[in-house]
Structure 1
């Protein structure tokens, strides 16, 4: 006898946004997913060169918008490891973003007493930013380790309050340690990749001097961010399918049950915290190089909430979903920039729009637009196919 679910329940799920796309994606083979993934990222990479009319941002360079999207997407992927995979509510993730940015700025800005720029070697003008990227990731991973060891035994709201305090502590330290960080004046002239130097672009394609045309400096930063994003997605995807990924899911669903079953919950939570911190530090290094200026107001609590909003909007635990959430968070304010209705600049109301969106989402779609579909079995798809074949054979008999 076949068992049928109540029609109302399943029909509402089938009509929910993102379910059809998620179901189609889950039905593809691994080769097909790779093929569509490569095609999708290739089209995404070419979008700044020929912006689609319905996506173009008239008030600001589309390449600059996409460069900002790449940075926030990397942040969202890192935060998704902490919040979406391991279920740790982190409200101060902007602190890791700040540590990464300030690491690059302190080592390369002429305003910093720790400036390591030199005429030759790893910290020459051409290689300084690239040399600082692994240092920034290591520094933020260490910060995550130092914060995680005493605090990850807390849960829920208590952990959220501690991480919120960490983010504010980092911002206040940057604002008050004026002898090191230059205080509220910030650190200027931060190093960036010196590639493509010629007589027209003496500082290379990544410099702000390359501001004309579609292949401007924003487009080049977007391409660099996209390459880093693909690498992080491969890393995080492999982690999801590993023992650590399954331990994170078990901890997220029921930490007590996971611990009873032999999962070292503290160790795996600490792993998630450190990995997420390192990814946040990478995005901070990307920000410091692109803007070439780092100051405390950038790393306020509002930005931390926006990063979390990207994860919740896209779907916690779904790394491709949070990338979509990051795109919405970045694109919507830039698209509405300069658009006036009744004398009001809609670009200034982004927090209102995001707040209303989250309220509606929590009512009708609390799991996000693209909720994760966990593959807890290594050969889950094959096992389900064999079970369905066996049921069909029994029904035929």
Structure 2
């Protein structure tokens, strides 16, 4: 049994092959709805191996075949055994994947995937459709940056192991940039540097072109005094220290995570742009101080972009990771009356916003990272249920979130209502990969057909 899929991308063959050969390519192509974790990325398409974690502690080892390596035309990998956890998979499931690249013309390449495996075609087709969309959009994003004059650079990143950091670092690495992860543990390889948030080393940012600062304690949780303190302490002072260091180093851009919580927990039906005043609540207080902590970098002549992020959509984390199993089981429903506004953004569009913040000098100050079409909670519920082909008949009463998050947490998280518009991105002509909620969820969940 086997399957053959192909698509054409508007990039020369040598560049497409080079993209596949860089670190991060597998992460960018791995469908987020599959229960697979990348444990080790192949260090070579010629003879390396990738190791994937599967449910139940099993491992899938993808071994590259040196006899079939012909750049920029072809590489091949097959399932192999390497350690006890990989033996069941290698013995029970055959897999041989031929990756081929043919020139259509000087600027277009046909990417061909031929797989010999007993896995049903109905499982594989959505996976390859997702891979081609990711490849096409990633290459297009890097091409736009290159056309603007952006050259490969070295980018220091905090929070690189989180939901956003994992996707962004893979995107940047596969695009030819070097990502230096600022970590709190002892460095394990050359692209890690130890970072003390309270007292960063003076040479931490040596030879760094730009900083992306994503680190911070999770906001989700009961809003106890301890939780509120952790949320604030992990953001405000560490950001100030890093911004001061950026000002003293040869850094040209400082991009800092922020949140639409700046606008408060309930602004009614008002459309909120970057020019809108801050709102009320604990999160608004924290975000205001968090953003203000970036000031030393700006005073030092560094271009500072503060990315005010909406509700990130990804089955690998955030609200969608929690809601997907409930809705798939037919247990989903709106929260309260469902009239609260939800300003959302797909994970790949968020990656593009951070990328643009790095290369587009027109972006400075606050930037709303939200899709152009916010929806009410009732509409989000309807669309997600439709995508997973399940009813959504069980509304969550208003007291429900308060049981889990406390009264303040429920008000500022589960029941928050913010109708936010990406005004600055619209002004600079930014194009979103998926503007509509249904299109985004179908892409992320592998449900591209009705």
TM over 0.5, shorter chain? no
Normalised TM-score (structure 1): 0.20
TM-score (norm. length: structure 2): 0.18
Higher percent of residues as strand = 2
Using CA pairs under 8 Å that are at least 6 residues apart, name the structure with larger relative contact order, 1 or 2.
1
Question: Which structure shows the bigger proportion of residues in helix conformation?
Answer: 1
